[in-house]
Amino acid sequence: MKKIPLFFLLALGVAPLSAEEPVKPNVIVIMADDLGYGDVSCYGATTYETPNIDKLAEQGIRFTSGYCSASTCTPTRYSFLTGNYAFRKEGTGIAPPSSPAIIPGGTPTIASMFQSVGYKTAVIGKWHLGLGGEDGPDWNGDLKPGPLEIGFDHCFLLPTTNDRVPQVYVEDHRVLNLDPNDPLWVGKKKPSEDHPTGISHRDTLKMDWTHGHNATIHNGISRIGFYTGGEEARFRDEDLADKWVEQSMKWIEENKDEPFFLFFASHDCHVPRMPHERFQGTTPHGYRTDSIVQLDWCVGELSKTLDRLELSENTLIVFCSDNGPVMDDGYADGALEKVGEHHAAGPFRGGKYSVYEGGTRTPFIATWKGTIDPAVSDEVVTTIDLYSSLASLTGAEIPADAALDSADVSGALLGKENAKGREEFVQQDNGKGGNYGFRSGNWKLQRHDSGKTRNLVVEKLLENTPVPQFQLFNLDQDPGEEENLIESHPEIAEKMKGRLAEIIESGSSRR
């Protein structure tokens, strides 16, 4: 496929590409967690293999410029579901353990879009977008608003992220297997002086912490935040991936006779990395890449289920990640010490928490057996665009106040001849520092309002590294963002500064 032309002044950057006629394939979006561009073998990993993800790429389109919208999980997931850049809404940074619902009930989402054209919808896996009203979740009662109030018919969730408390499953509106005689309490402060934590009982841990993950201990691992009770409801970290696959297979079986949308939200390879015992030690780089092999197994099980039910030729699968990679993210799991020659971000600089390419450029694969021809594409596609693109594919109407930053790149996703992806795209970090990346054609402007960045290189964590407010790179010539061209191309920099400011301030980039 052709490379993106060097245009950086288009208002949206991509013209609407409507499908020839509406169709209703099943859709599964598989979103990995903290998976880098170079973390799977079809994108360059050489010291271990990911055959099931590779098979998706062999059967479909492997995008070399596939992006998530932010370099941390909560804002990317918010943007994927709503079609809106997360920097437009306060409170979309990494959600704390007892965050209220970040997406209010009734908000139009990609899930409600699918519902509007007759789909059954489910999210299974990591949520991390808050539950409940303004006071936060009622862990012992109905957990709403939540996914069911924004378009999902069913959910089976890890409610936060597994380095945050509590370690329980939520099915629809309730904590699964919760004994009312053993209520669940979640709080910000230590509940009692003798409550075991990663600080007071560090010698009992089966995985030590390195920073910030030293509160309540569960399953030999200390977490962010405190909780007590709910003993019968608690899960074992090693069983998470198996549970996601089990629940997904069950739901697909139940809904195989009508169109369905499944958001399979994996927790691999986010910390704490504690893969099932059958995957431990299967790679040279410790539990981080063992978890990637576990993720690959999940992809294989989902694919086998579709084959068994004869659904593969009527199912579009999109494989992506919520942000780029990180090594030491709070636990001593060997990721740094065992990294060797593995480059998790591939040829790109940065990773999780940064607006360098490694923070948001990730594996991105679209597969639809018998419909999408195998190819490698340089077109720019992003997770935020799935809302508009899949609405175009299915013939759904998008409300005027919805998907304000989602572009229709359905032609590129389906590999249509001469179809284009985005011409411009805004990247963000967690949102608190006001740091942005702005790609327009092959030019990339960085705007660091905080004057600093984190994690310039994936192999170590660099806190508060000073950087200029603005930097300019030519990604075609310099994908590693090493040579700042802002002084030699001031006219390009000024135009891109103005366009970025316009997008941020306008409230919408979909016209």
pLDDT digits (tens, 9 = 90+) for 144-192: 999 999 999 999 999 999 999 999 999 999 999 999 999 999 999 999 9
Residue 18: inside a domain, yes or no? no
Q: Which residues have CB under 8 Å from 167's CB, separation 6+? A: 218, 219, 223, 234, 235, 237
Matching residue, tokens 């780089």: 285
For residues 124 and 264, give the distance between their C-alpha atoms in angstroms, rounded to a whole number.
5
Same domain, 97 and 34: yes
Residue 141 lies in a domain: yes
pLDDT score of 314 more than 80: yes
Contact status, residue 496 vs residue 443, Cβ threshold 8 Å: yes
Do 438 and 337 belong to one domain?
A: no
314-321 mean pLDDT: 98
d(CA 163, CA 331): 9
Both 436 and 399 in one domain: the answer is: no
**For residue 432, what pLDDT band results from cuts at 50, 70 and 90?**
low
For residue 10, what pLDDT band results from cuts at 50, 70 and 90?
very low
Final residue before a domain boundary, out of 417, 448, 483:
417
Q: How far apart are CA 16 and CA 477, in angstroms?
A: 29
Residue at 500 is within a domain? yes
For residue 392, name the pLDDT band (cuts at 50, 70, 90): very high
Q: Is 425 helix (H, G, I), strand (E, B) or coil?
A: strand
Shared-domain flag, residues 358 and 474: no
Asked if 344 and 464 sit in the same domain, the reply is no
Strand residues in 100-145 grouped as ranges (E): 120-126
State how far the Cα of 182 lies from the Cα of 242, in Å rounded to an integer. 26
2 pLDDT more than 70: no
Q: Please report, for the domain that includes residue 45, its CATH number.
A: 3.40.720.10
Tell me the average pLDDT of the chain: 93
pLDDT at 18 over 80: no
Q: Which residue has the tokens 């001849």?
A: 417
Question: Tell me, what's the pLDDT at 454?
Answer: 74
Say yes or no: 156 and 294 in one domain: yes
Where does the pLDDT of residue 462 fall: very low under 50, low under 70, confident under 90, or very high at 90 and above? low
Residue that finishes a domain, picked among 417, 440, 455: 417
**What is the average pLDDT across 24-45?**
98
pLDDT given at position 458: 54
Q: With pLDDT > 90 as the criterion, what percentage of the chain qualifies?
A: 90
Residue 344 in domain: yes
Residue range 429-438: average pLDDT?
A: 85
What DSSP element (H or E) covers 58?
A: helix 51-59
What spatial distance separates the first Cα and last Cα of the chain, rounded to whole Å?
27
What CATH number should be reported for the domain holding residue 496?
Answer: 3.30.1120.10
303 and 394 both lie in a single domain: yes
pLDDT digit string, tens, across residues 42-68: 999 999 999 999 999 999 999 999 999
**If DSSP codes are grouped into helix, strand and coil, which group holds residue 202?**
helix
Give strand ranges (E) for 364-434: 365-367, 375-382, 424-428
User: Could you give the number of structural domains in the chain?
Assistant: 2
% of residues, the chain, pLDDT over 70: 93
Asked if residue 19 belongs to a domain, the reply is no
**Residue showing tokens 């309540």:** 216
Average pLDDT over every residue of 482-511? 94
Assign 437 to helix, strand or coil.
strand
Please indicate, yes or no, whether residues 241 and 360 belong to a single structural domain of this protein. Answer: yes
Short-list 50, 202, 84, CA closest to 510: 84
pLDDT surpasses 60 at 17: no
Do residues 102 and 122 share a domain? yes
Mean pLDDT score, 417-430: 94
Where does the pLDDT of residue 22 fall: very low under 50, low under 70, confident under 90, or very high at 90 and above?
confident
Q: Which residues pair with 158 in a beta bridge?
A: 126
322 has a pLDDT exceeding 80: yes
| pLDDT tens-digit map of 184-219 | 999 999 999 999 999 999 999 999 999 999 999 999
The answer to whether position 15 is within a domain reads no
Would you say residue 195 lies in a domain? no
| 244-252: Cβ within 8 A, 24+ apart | 244/124, 244/125, 244/156, 244/298, 245/298, 245/301, 245/302, 247/124, 247/156, 248/124, 248/302, 248/305, 249/301, 249/302, 249/305, 251/122, 251/124, 251/154, 251/156, 252/302, 252/305, 252/306, 252/309, 252/311
CB 64 within 8 A of CB 378: yes
What domain range is 444 assigned to?
426-506
Same domain, 308 and 439: no
Structure tokens at 58: 């062999």
Please choose, from the candidates 115, 122, 116, the residue with its C-alpha nearest in 3D space to the C-alpha of residue 263: 122
Indicate the residue among 399, 417, 435 that finishes a domain: 417
Residues 402 and 332 in one domain: yes
Structural tokens at position 393: 């594919």
Instruction: Report how far apart, in Å, the C-alpha atoms of 375 and of each of 68, 87, 412 are.
Output: 21, 33, 11
If asked whether residues 364 and 436 sit together in one domain, one would say no
3-state secondary structure of 216: strand
286 sits in the region (left: phi over 0; alpha: psi -120 to 50; else beta) called: left
> What is the pLDDT, as a whole number, of residue 452?
85
Of the two residues 511 and 195, the one the predictor is more confident about is 195
Question: Using CA atoms, how far apart are residues 492 and 243, in angstroms rounded to an integer?
Answer: 50
Average pLDDT on 278-284 reads: 98
Instruction: Give the helix/strand (H/E) hosting 447.
Output: strand 443-448
**Could you tell me if residue 336 is inside a domain?**
yes
- Whether the Cβ atoms of residue 438 and residue 428 lie closer than 8 Å to each other: no
Confidence of residue 9 (pLDDT cuts 50, 70, 90): very low
Res. 6: pLDDT tops 70: no
